[in-house]
Amino acid sequence: MMQRITLRLPEQQISLLEQMVEAGEFPNVSEAVRAAVRELIEKRSNRVLKDIDQVSFKV
């Protein structure tokens, strides 16, 4: 199940997202943002999970 969030971005970033949609990179701005979030999670989630494991181990 997907949940909705509200996100405020600078006009320049929104404009670039819209240009990516117009260029056919994404079907819509929402999908472009979802792709960016997925990429961020892939890049950083291991570090966060590792930090959580270290904190759990110390307790």
Residue 52 is predicted with a pLDDT of: 63
Q: What are the extents of the domains in the chain?
A: 18-58
Which H or E run includes 24?
A: none
Strand, coil or helix: what is 50?
A: helix
pTM confidence score? 0.74
Residue 26 to residues 22, 43, 45, Cα–Cα distance (Å): 8, 21, 24
Q: What is the SS3 assignment for 20?
A: helix
To which residue do tokens 């590792």 refer? 50
- pLDDT at 58 > cutoff 70: no
Average pLDDT over residues 12-39: 98
Q: What integer best gives the mean pLDDT of the chain?
A: 88
Question: pLDDT per residue over 30-56, tens digit each?
Answer: 999 999 999 999 888 877 666 666 655
